Structure 1
Amino acid sequence: MVLSISAFTYSSCNKPLERKADLVLLNGTIYTIDENRPQAEALAIERDRFVFVGNNAGAKKYVDEKTKIIDLKGKTVTPGLIDSHVHLEWYGRYQEEVHLHGTTNFDDVLKIVEQHVKRIEPGEWLIGAGWDHEDWPDKKLPTHERLSAIAPKNPVLLERDGAHSVLVNQTAMNLAGIDEKTKDIKGGQIIRDSITGAPTGIFVDRAKTLISNIKPQPSYDDRVRYILNAVDSCISVGLTSVHDAGVFNEPRLAYQIIDIFKSLAENGRLKNRVYAMLGGNEVYLDNYFEYPPMIGYGNHHLTFRSIKIALDGAMGSRGALLLDEYSDMPGHRGSVVTESDAIKKIAIDAVNKDFQLNVHAIGDSASRLSLDLFEEVDADYPIHERRFRIEHLQLISLEDIPRLKKLGVIPSMQAYHAISDMNWAETRVGKERVKGNYAWRKVLDSGVMIAGGSDIPVVPINPLWSIYASVTRRDIDGLPEEGWYPEERMSREEALKSYTIWGAYAAFEENLKGSIEVGKLADLVVFSKDITKISSEELLTTKALLTIVGGDIVYKRKEFE
């Protein structure tokens, strides 16, 4: 009965309620992403819900002496943005590590490391991230010798951009007991000297655990700080909701992160909304379902009902699993990180225990294997309403695209990856296969929606940069002018939907968020420019001025005072 009354109250066609609004926004350019009312100039919020969307005159009927009124003065409003693929704790941790993004050669990396080594004590770990040898003139993977020479007394671990491979020094390898006799582990690779067989210092995919397992782990308080800092970064760019794509690869630590989210939500400190996925692989088959699904916890600030499994690695490190060999590495097809049989078992358990399954698949073989096992499961355990996802779907064989709609599979794709990878993607897979690389238009035209995201901290956090990539397929310097395979671009409307209503759908939350409608959660963002009309280049400089989550102002820039 309570639910019925609530539904009636919020669906009353903007009819004024006896109780007045807590917050009213007037004189705006409001893009609602509601097909029945695409645009409005005003809205009213009571508690955490929209109670009116329409014109100024209608909104003013909700005003009394206690109502806060904001004059938008023509500013643009959209629903709160949803990033469907982030790594929240990792992003907060990354903010405290040594930044190597933008380095143009290995010498730059070594200079930065050398400066930081001087500031720490002997024996202390130095952790950095962001280097990418594909941005360097010789495009060669570095080896550890020069790094070991400048940091002989400190273990050093430097993550490549994308985090699917790391470079470590000799001190770190010594601590881990790694030498030429160390064997590769399943789902990973130790890059070795072609003559001596000695490790070069590069560890790919699950081989990284040989090093990461021995480095000091953050404390509980550290993780709280990382998450809070990451959340602050999110709301500053208009991200009111995020899908945390694998809160940790080890369930014990993942459940700790979920407990942190719960505690923050209970205490009103989780300022945005988190849709958390448990991450991992077949090692933890017996641990995935220790927690039952948790939906809408803390007034819809936390939901935990999905599991993310990595089937392959990344394209940049040549760990993505391909149907045919890499064009620039004959005989090599990538790595299987988690076997299909293990994923199938998790998929069946997920269906039976009301969990969503999200498979990390970057290569075309990984995409096909994901669809194959989904079809096998679907034969006995229908998955269409379970909204299984493929995370990344960076390369897919064109003949496999129609299978997405047939199975109800949602591709969760990160547009910025296309413009960061485009300078070497064709070299990896060749001119023919690249037609299925970041094939957004082909996917959309097949009748499938795309959940848009960033993959922070791998790429920049600003959602407008991802939207820019979606609609231009140009890098931030505007190159190539015609766009990289421009026929795959999204429209401005599609790109915005990928960050709003489609992201909400990918989390079973389209009736709660993703559009500005009466009865939905009052999540919105006010932008400094009209993101539907400005030039594509201006998207890169447009700012979030005001972020509202559940009717609360959680972020405001000074110029909006």
Structure 2
Amino acid sequence: MPRLHPIAASLALALTVSAHAQTPATTGTVIDNANGYTLNAAGKLVRFQSLAFDGQGRIVAVGSARDVAARAKGFQHVDVQGKTVLPGLIDAHGHVFGLGEVATAAELYSSTSLDGALATIGSFARANGQRAWVVGNGWNQEIWKLGRFPTAKELDGVVPDRPALMHRVDGHAVWVNSRALALAGITKDTQDPAGGKIERDAAGEATGILVDGAIELVTKVMPKATEAESRAALDGALAILAKNGLTSVHDAGVGVGADKLYRAYADSGKLSARVYAMIGDTGEDFDRLSAQGPLKSYANDLYALSSVKLYADGALGSRGAALIKPYSDAPHTHGLLFYKDGEMRAKMEKAIKAGYQLNVHAIGDAGNRQILDNYAALLKKHPGAALRHRIEHAQVVALADIPRFKALGIIPSMQPTHATSDQNMAEQRVGPQRIEGAYAWHTFLKQGSRIACGSDFPIESPNPFEGIHAAVTRQDMRDVPAGGWHKEQAMTLQQAFRCFTLDAAFAARQENVIGSLEPGKWADFIVTDQDLFQVAPEKIGRIGVLQTWVGGRQVYRK
């Protein structure tokens, strides 16, 4: 599973740089001497030497130095000295506040054993004695080779005095100690909630692992983040995004508080990446946020709130993903559908009738089939509701269901590094037949589907070049496995570039304003230290970002 960059270590530098972001020129700016690449409206790769944008941050010319200069008289010039210039990269599925929060919690992504994780948690707890709860992120029992989940008693050994909660790497299970179980009132008699599971021992006692819908049993008794903490998390996340060359992100699940902060940051000029936000579920927050209908554009396309995020099932690593047939390595379980068909359809219809794009998390083949069935019924009932609906992850899909994405106009929103992170357990979970429809990027692209690529940060690294590397090589950042994992499903370099730019923009219905460097669009671009289209494939993930610009404003400089 993933190895996040040392987010906490890089945060201070990134924050310092972004604090000194330049303001747009009053007349305009020309980026000169560029080794430039972009896609045009047809998706064809084109080269350019110069890029000009006006004082509002809109592109006025792209092309040869002579042609651009003729259209940009009186503009100031910035010489990038032959460095590579690319459109700003877009992450079509991430969790922005979660990214910022990772830097202030125990970091378990790099732990390679249970003992190592416990040592990290213990050190963190001792160093943060003032915290009411000890929280961490990123544990993965598959890497630890335990053959089981960790337990509350093991966590009690290093955090005996306070409640502790550690998020699994996929975000679909938590490991808690006995104090947390007691605060949540979880006993032998507590029933599994809908769409969730309390792991139990042979005597029926809770072991300390809560999967999917059961997580809320504990999180509802945790103190809510203060506005100051939320602002700190957003500041940290924006700095990380800028440092990694991400000029736009699709935030997969926001509520009233996040929406308020995004608008405030956009109003004050502090929103240094475009955010296409998805309202989390169709409950109380949706009712409040949807009162005025979808917000398609706010503050010069810096913010949008016109989609809804729902969940069909859990994750593969915790065996919460819903499968049609039992797990190959656990024949006693099929995983979990969060809702019955009618319940899920009601949620989906509520969002569609209100005019929102639907983006539904579905990882297992049963989860994907449920959502495809519901899309088929709802799009027939509401034929004017073709809003480029999506399935987030589309991770394990029955081969017979893949063509239905194209037939129904459903966008597969996929995360390339999930495949290279999951290679250590995915085929054991689903077996050799079902794996043919798993992480099946080539199959989707061949039929004409447009894939929106993302990372699912902070579950995976936010670095989009690691995503492009995974898409092209089907290898992790250690170049494992040799030759690539199920290499037949790899993307070409241009396909991977497109799914992190133009097609990610298309999935947010924003391809007319971002996703490529063309006249009339926003000047969202990055300058990199290596040429993406010339570097060896195994080195793509190590490309570094030198500058990041959003709407003609420099928001990061190395």
Q: TM-score, normalised by structure 1?
A: 0.92
1:316 aligned residue: 317
- In structure 2, C-alpha distance between the alignment counterparts of 1:554 and 1:323, rounded to whole Å: 46
Deviations 1:110-164 (A, max 9, x none): 1111112222337721000101001012332111112112221111101110110
What is the aligned counterpart of 2:174 among 166, 177, 192? Answer: 166
Match of 2:133 in 1: 125
Report the counterpart of residue 439 of structure 2 in structure 1.
438
Q: Give the Cα–Cα distance (whole angstroms) in 1 for the partners of residues 161 and 345 of structure 2.
A: 45
Give, in angstroms, the shift of residue 60 of structure 1: 2.1
- Distance in 1, matches of 2:226 and 2:434, equals 45
Shift of 1:232: 1.1
1:27 to 29, 33, 36: 33
Q: 1:9-60: CA deviations, max 9, x gaps?
A: xxxxxxxxxx995110111121121147711111111021100111111222
Aligned residue number for residue 49 of structure 1: 58
Task: Give me the identity figure in percent.
Answer: 37
Structure 1 residue corresponding to 2:160, chosen from 143, 147, 152: 152
> What whole-Å deviation, never above 9, does each CA across 1:426-452 have from its counterpart, x for those lacking one?
100001101111000001011101000
**RMSD (Å), alpha carbons:** 1.8
Structure 1 residue corresponding to 2:221, chosen from 214, 237, 246: 214
The equivalent position to 2:123 in structure 1, one of 115, 129, 132, is 115
1:90 has 2:91 as partner: no
Task: Give 1:305 deviation, angstroms.
Answer: 0.3
Between 1:458-467 and 1:91-100, the stretch displaced more is 91-100
Amino acid at match of 2:120: I
Task: Find the aligned partners of 2:296 and 2:436 in 1 and give their Cα distance.
Answer: 39
1:338 positional shift: 3.0
Query: 1:284 and 1:239 mapped to 2: Cα distance?
Result: 27
CA contact (8 A) 1:377 1:383 kept: no
Kept in 2, the 8 Å contact 1:326–1:429? The answer is: yes
Tell me if the contact between 2:91 and 2:246 (Cα under 8 Å) persists in the aligned partners.
yes
Q: Partner of 2:215: helix, strand, or coil?
A: helix
> Counterparts of 1:114 and 1:268 in 2: how far apart (Å)?
40
Q: Which residue of 1 aligns with 2:302?
A: 301
CA separation of 1:190 and 1:553: change in aligned 2, threshold 3 A: same
Residues 199-348 of structure 1 mapped to structure 2, 5 A cutoff = 199-247=206-254, 254-280=255-281, 289-348=290-349
Question: What is the alpha-carbon distance in structure 1 between the residues aligned to residue 45 and residue 360 of structure 2?
Answer: 35
Query: Structure 1's 106 and 291: CA in aligned 2 closer, same or farther, altered over 3 A?
Result: farther
Matched, 1:99 2:107: yes
Measure, in 1, the Cα distance between the counterparts of 2:399 and 2:485.
Answer: 18
Q: Number of matched residues?
A: 531
Q: Counterparts of 1:552 and 1:326 in 2: how far apart (Å)?
A: 50
Code of the aligned partner of 2:307? S
Say if 1:193 and 1:200, in contact at 8 Å, map to a contact too.
Answer: yes
Separation in 2, partners of 1:37, 1:477:
29
| CA drift at 1:284 | 7.3
**3-state SS of paired residue (2:253):** coil
Partner of 1:74: 82
On the 8 A contact 2:199/2:208 being kept in 1, the answer is: yes
Which one has more relative contact order, counting CA pairs under 8 Å at least 6 apart?
2
Instruction: Tell me if structure 2 keeps the 8 A contact 1:449–1:498.
Output: yes
| Residue aligned with 1:175, SS | helix
> For the Cα contact (< 8 Å) 2:355–2:385, is it kept in 1?
no
* Gap regions ≥5 residues in structure 1: 1-18, 248-253
* 3-state SS in 2 of match to 1:385: coil
TM-score by length of 2: 0.92
Distance (whole Å) between structure 1 residues aligned to residue 471 and residue 147 of structure 2:
26
Alpha carbons 1:189, 1:206 under 8 Å: kept: yes
Per-residue deviation, residues 153-186 of structure 1 (Å, max 9, x unmatched): 1111011101100000011111112111111111
Kept after mapping to 2: 8 A contact 1:523/1:549: yes
Which amino acid in 1 is paired with 2:143?
Answer: D
One-letter identity of the residue aligned with 2:92 = S
2 CA distance for matches of 1:552 and 1:284?
33
Q: Distance in 2 between matches of 1:353 and 1:393?
A: 25
**1:85–1:152 CA distance, 2 compared to 1 (3 A):** same
Unaligned runs of 5+ in 2: 1-24
Secondary structure of the 1:307 match is strand
* Cα separation, 2, equivalents of 1:283 and 1:446: 39
Structure 1 equivalent of residue 485 of structure 2: 484
Q: Which residue of 1 aligns with 2:502?
A: 501
Counterpart secondary structure, 2:376:
helix
Q: The residue matched to 2:531 in structure 1 has which SS?
A: coil
Aligned to 2:3: none
Q: Give me the whole-angstrom Cα distance separating, in 1, the residues matched to 2:358 and 2:297.
A: 18
**What does residue 15 of structure 1 align with?**
none
> What SS is found at the alignment partner of 1:357?
strand
* Residues 123 and 153 in structure 1, CA contact (< 8 A), matched pair in contact too: no
Separation of aligned partners in 2, 1:551 and 1:203: 46
Alignment of 1:355-366 (within 5 A): 355-366=356-367
Q: Distance in 1 between matches of 2:288 and 2:439?
A: 33
AA matched with 1:242: V
Write the letter of the residue equivalent to 1:362: I
- Find the aligned partners of 1:115 and 1:50 in 2 and give their Cα distance: 50
Change in Cα spacing, 1:130 to 1:123, as seen in structure 2 (3 Å) is closer
2:256–2:289 Cα contact (<8 Å) kept: no
Structure 2 CA distance for aligned equivalents of residues 385 and 376 of structure 1: 12
SS state at 1:329 partner:
coil
Match of residue 531 from structure 2? 530
Contact 1:309 1:338 in 2 (8 A): no
Question: Contact conserved, 2:282 with 2:351, CA < 8 A, in 1?
Answer: no
